[in-house]
Amino acid sequence: MSASDESLHLTATDLRHSTFRLARRLRGARAVDAMSDAQLAVLATLRLHGRRTITALAAAERVTAPSMTNMINGLVEQGHVVRIPDEEDRRRVQVDITETGAAIVAETIHRRDELLAGMLAELDFTEAELATLRAASALMRRVVDR
């Protein structure tokens, strides 16, 4: 049985509002304060998926290739990524994360997980409530992974 349109819209509103507020709080916890969320997202993509072309990174982050090129230029200057000539097509360039870049992503993830765990601990959730949050998280992943 499908949910009603009204139920879907009420749920969408509640989820949007809650996730927006949570994301705003979590964005404040990062390993490098001067780094933008977009730069962190690129580093996280490279850490998770490995080398990518600028075109692929731009598509993944939903920005233009020139915007991604500018972002990559900054990350190269900071030593967080390197450009590597493509082995099959020398006209193409792959972008890969450096150890420094990977460490920034790992530390940012750690800080954000610690912040959220602390927020959850302050509310003294029961094991059943935490299980409900994990189940809701799995459902939300289904929405964004589709």
* Segment-wise mean pLDDT, segments of 10 residues, the chain, 146 residues: 85 94 92 89 96 94 94 96 89 94 96 95 94 95 90
Phi, psi of 33 (to 5 degrees): -65, -30
DSSP 63-124: --HHHHHHHHHHHHHTTSEEEEE-SS-TT-EEEEE-HHHHHHHHHHHHHHHHHHHHHHHHTT
Q: Is 2 helix (H, G, I), strand (E, B) or coil?
A: coil
Cβ neighbours, 10 Å, residue 50: 10
Question: pTM score, two decimals?
Answer: 0.83
Which pLDDT belongs to residue 88? 84
Which pLDDT belongs to residue 45? 95
Which pLDDT belongs to residue 61? 92
Q: What is the DSSP letter of 31?
A: S
Total domains in the fold of the chain: 1
Domain ranges, residue 16: 5-145
The two three-digit tokens of residue 84, written as one number: 């590597």
Residue 133 belongs to a domain with what CATH number?
1.10.10.10
Query: For residue 72, what are the contacts with CB-CB under 8 A and spacing of at least 6?
Result: 42, 54, 57, 81, 83, 95
53's enclosing H/E stretch is strand 52-53
Which pLDDT belongs to residue 1? 59
